């Protein structure tokens, strides 16, 4: 008579032999662009992350440079504007009143300590132009064209504290092409919350970057790539994203 252990092993082998059951590798669901339902969402396309003069350049600069992030975000903006893909920006701002916070995580504490994304007030734009909280200059023609939707600021990493999802839903969006800064923090947090809210999301993996801290053995970009693969509907390079955006526009205008 077979032991209970042997019977269990046989049952497991039989289960694993079922047709269509796959254990090796993750599926690739993919995501197509549907005109009128697909948006480009950028997180934190701001000087403090993307400019050599920004306060975080010492830790993100290597990743931004290696990925050609600044140019890739610009290429996504150009492709979206030229092919009627709505653009949404989820910015990160801190006001003097936020200095009253009593606790925070590691990066939160660092951001407050270096005055990252600092503004003089929610309704005060004095000193904003060209500051670390401002957009990169090359993005301004796209973001300040009167059509790009700039949400209220997120305050930690994800869009739970701003109106991004409301703005997307009110415009009938249910698919998102996601890029921006930084990969393992705001981009990943936006990815997770957008998925929980029922959006299909593709991440453009070379239109983002993250902090690298060799002394602690930390590479935020590599960490993000792992989770992007587990979570997103698809992962595109900027080159792939631009081609797909253009092709979707051509398909939409074909007779």
SS (H, E, C) 93-133: CECHHHHHCCCCCHHHHHHHHCCCCECCECCECCCCCCCCC
Q: How confident is the model at residue 5 (pLDDT cuts 50, 70, 90)?
A: low
On whether residue 69 sits in a domain, the answer given is yes
C-alpha–C-alpha distance, residues 251 and 255, integer Å: 9
Q: What DSSP designation does 17 have?
A: T
Neighbouring-strand partners of residue 43: 90, 180
**5 lies in some domain:** no
Q: How confident is the model over 237-255, as pLDDT tens digits?
A: 999 999 999 999 887 765 6
Task: Determine the pLDDT at residue 250.
Answer: 83
The DSSP element (H or E) to which 90 belongs, if any, is strand 87-90
Two tokens at 87? 């653009």
What band does 170 get if pLDDT is binned at 50, 70 and 90? very high
Residue 14 lies in a domain: no
In a domain, 210, yes or no: yes
The confidence score (pLDDT) of residue 21 equals: 45
98: CB partners within 8 A, 6+ apart: 112, 155
> Structure pTM?
0.89
Contacts 24+ apart (CB under 8 A), 216-219: none
* Structural domain count, the chain: 1
Q: Are 39 and 88 in contact (CB under 8 A)?
A: yes
Please, is 165 exposed, middle or buried when counting C-beta atoms within 10 Å of its C-beta (0-12, 13-18, 19+)?
Answer: buried
pLDDT tens-digit profile of 39-57? 999 999 999 999 999 999 9
pLDDT of residue 138: 98
pLDDT at residue 25, as a whole number: 87
Q: What rounded mean pLDDT belongs to the chain?
A: 91
Q: What is the C-alpha radius of gyration for the chain, rounded to an integer number of angstroms?
A: 21
Domain around 52? 33-253
- Residue at 91 is within a domain: yes
Specify if 139 maps to a domain. Answer: yes
Within-domain flag for 19: no
Average pLDDT over residues 138-157: 97
CATH number for the domain spanning 238: value is 3.40.50.850
Mean pLDDT for 135-139 is 97
Residue 176 pairs in a beta bridge with: 39, 201
Whether 22 is in a domain gets the answer: no
pLDDT at 99: 92
């Amino acid at each position: 008579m077979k032991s209970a252990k042997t019977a269990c092993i046989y049952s497991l082998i039989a289960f694993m032999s079922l047709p269509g059951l796959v254990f090796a590798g993750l599926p690739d669901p993919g995501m197509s662009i549907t005109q009128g339902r697909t948006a480009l969402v950028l997180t934190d396309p701001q000087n403090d992350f993307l400019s050599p003069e920004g306060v975080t350049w010492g830790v993100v600069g290597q990743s931004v440079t290696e990925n050609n992030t600044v140019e890739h975000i610009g290429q996504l903006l150009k492709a979206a504007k030229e092919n009627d893909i709505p653009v949404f920006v989820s910015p990160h701002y801190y006001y003097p009143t936020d200095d009253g916070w009593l606790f925070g995580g590691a990066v939160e504490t660092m951001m407050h300590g270096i005055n990252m994304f600092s503004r003089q007030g929610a309704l005060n734009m004095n000193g904003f132009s060209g500051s670390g909280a401002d957009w990169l200059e090359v993005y301004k023609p796209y973001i300040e064209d009167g059509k790009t939707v700039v949400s209220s600021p997120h305050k930690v990493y994800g869009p739970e504290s701003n109106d991004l999802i409301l703005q997307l839903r009110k415009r009938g969006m249910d698919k998102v092409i996601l890029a921006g800064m930084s990969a393992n923090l705001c981009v990943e947090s936006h990815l997770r919350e957008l998925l929980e809210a029922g959006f299909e999301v593709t991440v453009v993996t070379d239109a983002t970057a993250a902090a690298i801290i060799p002394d602690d053995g930390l590479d935020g970009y590599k960490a993000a790539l792992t989770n992007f693969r587990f979570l997103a509907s698809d992962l595109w390079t900027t080159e792939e994203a631009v081609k797909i955006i253009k092709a979707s526009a051509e398909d939409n205008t074909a007779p």
